[in-house]
Chain A
Amino acid sequence: NAGVTQTPKFQVLKTGQSMTLQCAQDMNHNSMYWYRQDPGMGLRLIYYSASEGTTDKGEVPNGYNVSRLNKREFSLRLESAAPSQTSVYFCASSNEFRGITGELFFGEGSRLTVL
Chain B
Amino acid sequence: QQQVKQSPQSLIVQKGGISIINCAYENTAFDYFPWYQQFPGKGPALLIAIRPDVSEKKEGRFTISFNKSAKQFSLHIMDSQPGDSATYFCAASPSGTYKYIFGTGTRLKVLA
Judge whether A99 is part of the interface by a CB distance below 8 angstroms: yes
Are A4 and B99 in contact, with the CB atoms below 8 A? Answer: no
Are B44 and A90 in contact, with the CB atoms below 8 A? Answer: yes
Nearest-CB residue, chain B, relative to A91: B43
Q: Pick the contact of B98: A31, A44, A59, A105 (CB < 8 A).
A: A31
| Contact A42/B105 with A48-B99, A100-B32, A101-B93 known, Cβ cut-off 8 Å | yes
Point out the residues of chain A lying under 8 angstroms from B43, CB to CB. 4, 90, 92, 106-109
Are B98 and A48 in contact, with the CB atoms below 8 A? Answer: yes
Are A101 and B97 in contact, with the CB atoms below 8 A? Answer: yes
Q: Pick the contact of B44: A40, A43, A99 (CB < 8 A).
A: A43
Judge whether B102 is part of the interface by a CB distance below 8 angstroms: yes
Those of B1-32 within 8 Å (CB) of chain A = 6, 9, 32
Point out the residues of chain A lying under 8 angstroms from B93, CB to CB. 101
Nearest-CB residue, chain A, relative to B6: A42
Interface size (A, Cβ < 8 Å)? 28
Judge whether A45 is part of the interface by a CB distance below 8 angstroms: yes
Point out the residues of chain A lying under 8 angstroms from B91, CB to CB. 43
Mostly, the A contact residues are strand
Q: What's the nearest-Cβ distance from chain A to residue B42, in Å? A: 6
Judge whether A34 is part of the interface by a CB distance below 8 angstroms: no
Are B41 and A108 in contact, with the CB atoms below 8 A? Answer: yes
Judge whether A2 is part of the interface by a CB distance below 8 angstroms: no
Per the bound structure, the CA–CA distance linking A79 and B34 in Å amounts to: 33
B residues in contact (CB < 8 Å) with A: 6, 9, 32, 34, 36, 41-46, 49, 89, 91, 93, 95-100, 102-105
A residues in contact (CB < 8 Å) with B: 4, 31, 33, 35, 40-45, 48, 50, 58-59, 90, 92, 94, 96, 99-101, 103-109
User: What are 15 of the A-B contact pairs (CB < 8 Å)?
Assistant: A4-B43, A31-B98, A40-B9, A42-B89, A42-B104, A43-B91, A48-B99, A50-B98, A90-B43, A92-B43, A96-B98, A101-B93, A104-B34, A104-B44, A109-B43
Give 9 closest A-B pairs by Cβ, nearest first: A106-B43, A43-B102, A42-B104, A42-B102, A103-B46, A106-B44, A108-B43, A42-B105, A107-B43
